[in-house]
Structure 1
Amino acid sequence: MRKKYFIAIFLVVFTMMLSSFAFYTYQIIYTPNVLVEEQDRYFDIPRGTTFKQLQDKLAKERIVNDLVSFSFLAKLKDLDTNVKNGMYLIKSNMTNIELINLLRSGSQTPVSLTFSNARLLEQLPKILTKSLEIDSAELAPILLNDSTAAYYGFTKETFISMFIPNTYEVYWTLTPKTLLDRMKREYDNFWTEERKQKAEELGMTQMEVSTLASIVQGETNKMDEAPAIAGVYINRLNRRIPLQADPTLVYAIGDFSIRRILNKDKEFESPYNTYKYYGLPPGPINMPSIPALDAVLNYDEHKYLYFCANADFSGYHVFAKTLSQHNINARRFQRALNLQRIYR
């Protein structure tokens, strides 16, 4: 009887322990343990992250509620030897197994790479890497190397035109090479057969269109008048009249705080000085936007040869067909600058 009694006790205890283990196992695997009652969140795992560092990061950022259960199951699933860097969208109330499977798979969530403008190629490394894992210091020596520009079919003066301002979906783990390859593909995608045809009708290469678009963009941020400004410059080019574009002088001088061009500035020695040298400068003076590029390709056909900033400081311009009318407009604007005490 005593033997049967002990067997019964053992069976009861064993059943209870088995039930408890099964319940705990169920909880480890199927109970929500990630961002419990919180919102979805992006979570990055940098290159070279160890499993211990991953654990610390999950705890510090309050991603995982019960780190012990997560770590136990993660080791069973070999996550401790298979940590993959990347940017992941962690959803609220995920279970341990769901999070572990996500991290093991390396299924990253793309991030948005957005950039709108830059005056100099040297500014691009910081702009391009602000939402990526790579550091600007890692990208800069590659981006600013003349051989890199040549590899993609550009010169150091025209290379900035390869970067078409827009928003792109990319992976956070992009390398400098894959980033630049992507930008070249986007550049090629922008230059559709229709746009190439329009450039050909203008008698311009794609890079020359970018250069003129950068000047138009330097003149105005009112894109509704950009085609009219592009039309003025195209008229001047067709008549072999120097562009005399103030933004090219500002670029040449290198002082982007200048608001007023002086006569002495027009003597500044530089191939970008379109007062001294006929035609387009060697390359873009900024990173032209898609609206500016399209403004050149779809320029307004008119007979204007001059334009001047409107004296009301609205950002718009007044146009003239003759030099005498332009001089009247220019004097009006200069008086407005004097009234505002803008001398430089």
Structure 2
Amino acid sequence: MNSKKIISIVAVVLVTGLLVYGFVLVQQIFSVNTKFTDSEVYVTIPTNATYAQAKEILTPYVQNMDRFEMVANKRNYPESVKPGRFLFTKGMNSYELVKSLRTNIPVKLAFNNQERLENLAGRVGSQIEADSMSLMASFKDSIFLKENGFNQDNVFVLFIPNTYEFYWNTPAVKFRDKMIKEYRNFWNTQRLAKAEQQGLTAIEATILASIVHKESVKKDERPRIAGVYLNRLRLGMPLQADPTVIYAIKKSTNNFDQVIKRVFYTDLIMESPYNTYVNLGLPPGPIAMPDITALEAVLNPEKNDFIYFCASVTRFGYHEFAANLSDHNKNAKAYSNWINNQGVKR
């Protein structure tokens, strides 16, 4: 066999080998490499995670880790592990998986109807990497409070309920700093002017809105209730808001899960800065997170002469209003009789 034939045979073998290798390589890179049954899953990689830690997190979702690692090494993923929240879709190949691990998907973070700061921290901490303890520490940081005019009792007013976009790996301080920006955006010149017209600061308006929020779930009634409370404040009367007493009871027992449907006289005289039956003016902080309609009700209250109100026994969820004590006592008696007939003890 002459040398030319030998060279030709060797060349054919080499080319064939390269083609086979290339085919195998393509198969490894572009064949399906997921093993979850859902159409898509979100995977979170913590801040400062090593490649070994990332692999451990990814293992439940990757069918063949050797194939994944081959592509990951070629794409320099082990040297550039990125923290965050990443989207995997069913049927992805190794190349697509590694590519997805470079695209941090934001979280639609929502919160509303939280009763206190601790509840909010837990709610937020369940949606991003920062835990509730680090979030609480950032909210109560003394320098932050002083620079922004808050204290530990009223800093809860900072949080405007809404849906926000955050990266999952957002640290606690960055979350807090975003919230102060949102707070300032909400309390624009127009809203601050409306609060001032009612004789309130932004903080005071939010505290009052938290009481209005707790008094009624009926959004169309909230401006009327806000008008009543503002009337009382102008007259120097105590607010006498049952929701503040309920909050005081829960706070004194540190049991915010209890459901209190009825307030008794002994509750009305309990010593607490949150009890607006024994203290004039507003409580030191909000008793809940007011929603936007409650805030707007305080800023745009109904102008009325009402001083009193109590729950209605004919329009459930609504209230009966009165401009004098005599009419109010009739309404209150009707409600007391109704609730006694219902057998409500607490």
For 2:314 and 2:65, locate their aligned partners in 1 and report how far apart those are by CA, in whole Å.
64
User: What amino acid maps onto 2:67 in structure 1?
Assistant: S
Show the counterpart of 1:76: 74
Shift of 1:3: 4.1
Q: Which residue of 2 aligns with 1:222?
A: 218
Secondary structure of the 1:48 match is coil
SS in 1 for 2:43: strand
Task: State whether structure 2 residue 309 is matched by structure 1 residue 302.
Answer: no
Q: What code does the residue aligned with 1:295 have?
A: A
Q: Which residue of 2 aligns with 1:342?
A: 344
Determine if contact 2:138/2:176 at 8 Å carries over to the other structure: no
Name the SS of the counterpart of 1:89 in structure 2: strand
Of all paired residues, the percent bearing the same amino acid is 40
Where in structure 2 are the equivalents of 1:281-296 lying within 5 Å? 281-296=283-298
Contact 1:44 1:88 in 2 (8 A): yes
Q: Counterparts in 2 of 1:44-193, with a 5 A limit?
A: 44-60=44-60, 62=61, 64-103=62-101, 105=102, 107-193=103-189
Contact 1:318 1:329 in 2 (8 A): yes
Match of 2:198 in 1: 202
Task: Tell whether the 8 Å contact from 2:158 to 2:183 is kept in structure 1 after alignment.
Answer: yes
1:71 partner letter: E
Supply the distance in 1 between the matched residues of 2:305 and 2:54 (Cα, whole angstroms). Answer: 66
SS of equivalent residue, structure 2 residue 309: strand
1:262 maps to 2:269: no
CA contact 1:121–1:144 (8 Å) conserved in 2:
no
Where structure 2 has 5 or more consecutive residues not aligned to the other structure, the ranges are: none
SS in 1 for 2:78: helix
- Give me the whole-angstrom Cα distance separating, in 2, the residues matched to 1:339 and 1:147: 53
Q: Distance between the aligned counterparts of 2:241 and 2:71, measured in 1?
A: 66
SS of the aligned residue for 1:81 comes to coil
Instruction: Supply the AA of the counterpart residue of 2:306.
Output: Y
SS of residue matched to 2:138: helix
Equivalences, count = 340
Counterparts of 2:238 and 2:270 in 1: how far apart (Å)?
15
Aligned equivalents of 2:272 and 2:56: distance in 1?
Answer: 56
- Is 2:139–2:155's contact at 8 Å kept on the other side of the alignment? no
**What are the superposed Cα offsets for residues 117-138 of structure 1, whole Å, 9 maximum, x if unpaired?**
2222232221221111122233
Decide whether the 8 Å contact of 1:161 with 1:287 is kept in 2.
Answer: yes
TM-score of the pair, normalised by structure 1: 0.91
Contact 1:225 1:316 in 2 (8 A): yes
Pick aligned residue for 1:326 from 304, 325, 328: 328
Task: Report what 1:272 is aligned to.
Answer: 274
